[in-house]
Amino acid sequence: QSGPVIDMPVPASFNDITQDPSLENYIGWVWYEKEVLLPLRWLQGDPAPRVVLRFGSAHYYSIVWVNGVQVVEHEGGHLPFEADISSVVQGSPGTLCRITVALNNTLTPHTLPPGSIQYMTDKTRYPKNYFVQNIRFDFFNYAGIHRPVVLYTTPAAYIDDITVTTTSSDSVAMVQYQVSVVGSTANSLSLNLRDQEGKVVATGDGPVGELKVLNPNLWWPYLMHENPGYLYSLEVRMQAQVGGALLEDVYTLPVGIRTVYVTSTQFLINGRPFYFHGVNKHEDADIRGKGLDWPLIVKDFNLLRWLGANSFRTSHYPYAEEIMDLCDAYGIVVIDESPGVGIKLPESFGNKSLQHHLAVMEELIRRDKNRPSVVMWSVANEPASELPPAAHYFKTVIAHTKALDPSRPVTFVTDANYALDHGAPYVDVICVNSYLSWYHDPGHLEVIPLQLTAQFENWYKTYQKPIIQSEYGADSVPGLHSDPPLMFSEEYQKAMLREYHAVFDKKRKEYVIGELIWNFADFMTNQGTTRVLGNKKGIFTRQRQPKAAAFVLRDRYWKIANESSCLPPVITSHSLFL
């Protein structure tokens, strides 16, 4: 017995698609179903190909059946999962293949992000069995199949995973590789590394090795080099004997040659100091919610480059692979963040939560480890890191992350007091969020210089690690004006930014290595008395139109880029993007 059956686009969040208010805030199970006809060649042969069903992501807990047979279960709303469905589909060629997905968006103290279900038991005030989903994070808990669902095939023996790391000096780079093959022990591997013209610059063979590249084109961030985001192509070719048949699998991986190194005062990319002047984002837009949308993605990258932003953090969950691909190609630097947001309750620091967090970091690193744009992992945002169990929790998560990927620094983003933070001893870079003259001393812009200077000096004195201002900002309702500046006006947002920037300019001469505005664009949140159709801290509206603050930030970012770059100055205040 099912409820009403309606059409639902994929990828999309289901919340904003209909006129049904109960679906907007729905908590619980929903079901998706689709029938497809598989090509006959997928189902024949000896050995027959391997048929795989892959989900880019689905929020939050998924169970998937094919032709009524359960093929995979997955917890977590922001990372891919897949199932080998060969044995289910190969027995019935020519018949429709039915794919069924049950999806549950309930959050508990042990999910990532955590939440809790609260039953309202006062029968004089609430209907029977009435409950609400409580969350401790400030964005709407959109749900649905958010990223593409694909069917693909491989040979019965196939390339399962590739890991690439790079080192470089002025005239030579080394590309270390490791390839794992599944389905055959008797196989051979050959590798070709091609430049952007398609010319082979290095070759290798076997599952582990090193490729030597002479006079390499390094992967540079946007605005740090005239040819940012340079990518080679690593073509990996496997041949294997399986049951008397010769099978071949080929995979091509984009490779950027770059190094990352952190000192007590600097963040170095390819040995040169890098200053993060960027944004925090959300996967969020009208109607589609968190659903992948190509026009929106390309618009956002055009806005980032117009702004002179060289970086962003994937606040507060891993973003779509399609977005990450463009970061690699355009040279946009990424702090890659796990969905560890809203870890506030003591029970969310227990062993059950910890084990899931470790598994999520494994999934995230497996997905994004080869991306040159990803220069640092962030394991959490604004956890209750002043609680005593946070010490063991973050020591463990960070050590696990570094064991999985020794090549990148690791951080988490804090809003705790510097003297009480139990997680900060374990990070490589201090990332601090503060909303001076907004959540603290609202309306008092004059306290920012003193308080922000003290914030930086206290953190640096305690840890001697470089610092990123990972969030700061103010809500502004577009079109609301006030002079002198009052809260929620576009003028107040501009004035707050300028106060922060004056302090950044002093401290970036010392140990502040970055500033990320909150937020790139307005986004939807739960309803609340301080949220007027969502969070209005964007420098762009939710429809991606600039507020006054966008021009302030743009002037600043281009100025910083022109100061620190070997590129000739290319921009004046409001000229078009080149």
Q: Please, what is the Cα angle at 197 between 195 and 200, to 5 degrees?
A: 45
Question: What is the token pair recorded at 551?
Answer: 């021009």
CA-closest candidate to residue 459, choices 433, 439, 496: 433
DSSP 133-196: EEESSSS----B--S-EEEEEE-SSEEEEEEEEEEE-SSEEEEEEEEEEES-SSEEEEEEEE-T
Which amino acid, 491? E
Pairwise CA distance, residues 411 & 375, whole Å: 11
Q: Which of 82, 283, 382, 490 is catalytic?
A: 382
CA-closest candidate to residue 279, choices 310, 322, 325, 320: 310
Phi–psi pair at 396, nearest 5 degrees:
-70, -50
| Three-state DSSP state, 267 | strand
Strand bridging mode 333-337 / 374-381: parallel
Peptide bond into 11 cis (omega under 30): yes
CA-closest candidate to residue 102, choices 53, 145, 150: 145
Active-site residue 382, yes or no? yes
Sequence-ordered list of residues with C-beta below 8 angstroms from that of 419, at least 6 positions apart, any chain: 458, 462
CA-closest candidate to residue 339, choices 44, 556, 61: 61
Which amino acid, 383? P
Strand bridging mode 430-433 / 467-471: parallel
In the numeric block, the tokens 């490729």 are attached to 211
Question: From start to end of 327-433, where are the E strands?
Answer: 333-337, 374-381, 410-414, 430-433
List, by residue number, the catalytic residues: 382
